Structure 1
């Protein structure tokens, strides 16, 4: 609705100071032309909104103008009670006494919202940990966090995927919690990169302050980074027929394989499907693990590879 959008524009300008029409359009998912019409409507309504021209220009509210509009609706109020995992707050060194915090918040919101917010609190709990406690140690998280807060360069010794350690000088831009793991988003030599914090063996905050990239948005960058990561993962597709007795087990083991396509069961009740692995060796080992319950259709050379691995297992235990 247009009224909601006009309120959102005022809130954005109030919080960020100045934004271009394109930035507002991207934030609110409308066209630049729509934003310009909205600015005319706000001006006509008596809102002191002005446009600064030039390379550093944009729309802003006149100095000292503050709207009392919060823009919060009932869904917004309820979402405030969905606290992140207490473990993540603890990692950051924040007081994880969510009960006390939510009690204070509950007392501060309008009475008309209180019952629904209380209901959300009592019915939804977010736990981002795994079933088995992670063995990852994050010796450097506190130092990394300090560099992020202070906008100072960070020197780290980082363990790569192959186990080799490298020294890196970074400009730390933000921390991201993915599941129960922490990642550092940083700029190195002008290129944005992601570093798993548990692989940082040592970290030292440098005295040099750096300038953050203009218009950098941590959440937007991370979402795009995830898309690119998934697109660049190696893919090895296998056409198979699956015995119905194990179809649920394959769906459950999504960590090792992705079932990207299934078809109508054939005359023997076996289910044609396409499985996706990271590489051929992973496919061979997975298929062998299900014995005679997965039949490989293609690639044509794969059954021989599975047989070869099975024979090597037999020879290994026969010679024990």
Structure 2
């Protein structure tokens, strides 16, 4: 593991330039003290690595130094072929480039790694969209992607959900995100907002160039966006007890909340009590009723009373009629 970590430090410094010990430690998921020891080991091995102290200091390779230790491990070769996404690459106009790159990579691999990579490509396939998601046409994806690559402002006609439905926007493209088979554009200038690319009705590039906001990181921004979305989607909470079968049916934020707050129920052995996020009383009532006898809402009282009222109504509606009189014996015999 140490040799792999030393190589990673070399490649990080070679591709990114100066990095502090703290930055290297965060990237490699080790302690800063470990980075110090690794830097000393590299210097002792003759690598022209030097470090500057102070607030703006850090480690840096001597200008012009390039390592040739770029060989791939078996796992790395497999991962590269597994992450190839021909569908999205084709949508971005990069399908041929991806195929060519994979072909060149395969040709450069030694025979044993080539065989492993071929097995990965033949036995694993990535299909990101959900089963019931319909394919949405994105006729202007290539133009939007080109604006992202070129750092060029675009004038778009955009269709939104509220009136007026069609609006014009001058957007500063920061990045594209593919989420569950749907493309999203993250763009300024008023902060970093999200736009569905399939709702773009026209694109006209302008002469203005776009600079990313200082410190902007697309992946980190998207994670925060998802967290904010879930917080707004599930603004309320409910205390519930669940059977093992009901607990296994939870997904997304509710499954994560179950893992974080779940504890054995003191009254029903084998059941779990947990605090779950809910969208609204309407949604929660439908969800917990769908779990039938495998779930019980303990609070809030208003939600519990609402479910009780619905169950009473259903019980009345589905009450069986009383049995009719016994049939009479045609010969008049008493059948009681």
User: Could you say which TM-score interval applies, normalised by the shorter chain?
Assistant: 0.7 to 0.9
Counterpart contact for 2:140–2:197, Cα < 8 Å = yes
Counterpart contact for 2:84–2:98, Cα < 8 Å = no
1:153-302 counterparts in 2 under 5 A?
A: 153-160=153-160, 162=162, 165=165, 167-189=168-190, 191-240=191-240, 247=245, 251-252=248-249, 254=251, 260=258, 261=262, 263=264, 275-287=276-288, 295-302=296-303
SS of 1:202's equivalent in the other structure is strand
- Cα deviations across residues 175-229 of structure 1 (Å, max 9, x unaligned)? 111221112223424x333333233343332211122344543334333443444
Higher Cα radius of gyration: 2
Root mean square deviation, CA, Å:
4.0
1:77 and 1:8 map into 2 onto residues whose CA distance is 16
Normalised to the residue count of structure 2, the TM-score between the two structures is 0.73
1:45-124 counterparts in 2 under 5 A?
A: 45-51=45-51, 58-70=58-70, 72-95=72-95, 102-124=102-124
1:164 and 1:223 map into 2 onto residues whose CA distance is 30
1:270 and 1:38 map into 2 onto residues whose CA distance is 50
SS of 1:134's equivalent in the other structure is coil
Shift in CA distance, 140/65, structure 1 to aligned 2, threshold 3 Å: same
Q: CA deviation at 1:80?
A: 1.2
Counterpart contact for 2:253–2:277, Cα < 8 Å = no
Shift in CA distance, 71/291, structure 1 to aligned 2, threshold 3 Å: same
1:218 and 1:34 map into 2 onto residues whose CA distance is 29
Partner residue in 2 for 1:35:
35
Counterpart contact for 2:241–2:272, Cα < 8 Å = yes
Partner residue in 1 for 2:320:
none
Shift in CA distance, 266/176, structure 1 to aligned 2, threshold 3 Å: same
1:309 and 1:303 map into 2 onto residues whose CA distance is 11
Q: CA deviation at 1:143?
A: 2.0
1:232 and 1:77 map into 2 onto residues whose CA distance is 40
1:268 and 1:55 map into 2 onto residues whose CA distance is 57
Instruction: List runs of 5+ in structure 1 lacking aligned partners.
Output: 316-320
2:58 and 2:119 map into 1 onto residues whose CA distance is 42
Q: CA deviation at 1:11?
A: 0.6
Shift in CA distance, 186/57, structure 1 to aligned 2, threshold 3 Å: farther
Q: CA deviation at 1:262?
A: 7.4
Moved more, 232-241 or 8-17: 232-241
Counterpart contact for 1:158–1:167, Cα < 8 Å = yes
Q: CA deviation at 1:77?
A: 1.0
Q: CA deviation at 1:137?
A: 3.3
Q: CA deviation at 1:238?
A: 3.2
Q: CA deviation at 1:98?
A: 6.9
Partner residue in 2 for 1:318:
none
Shift in CA distance, 287/45, structure 1 to aligned 2, threshold 3 Å: closer
Aligned residues: 310
2:138 and 2:98 map into 1 onto residues whose CA distance is 23
* 1:26 aligns to 2:46 (yes or no): no
Instruction: List runs of 5+ in structure 2 lacking aligned partners.
Output: 318-336
Normalised to the residue count of structure 1, the TM-score between the two structures is 0.76
Shift in CA distance, 24/274, structure 1 to aligned 2, threshold 3 Å: closer
Shift in CA distance, 231/210, structure 1 to aligned 2, threshold 3 Å: same
Q: CA deviation at 1:68?
A: 0.5
Counterpart contact for 1:85–1:128, Cα < 8 Å = no
1:309-320 counterparts in 2 under 5 A?
A: none
Shift in CA distance, 99/299, structure 1 to aligned 2, threshold 3 Å: same
Counterpart contact for 2:263–2:274, Cα < 8 Å = yes
Counterpart contact for 2:78–2:116, Cα < 8 Å = yes
2:37 and 2:249 map into 1 onto residues whose CA distance is 51
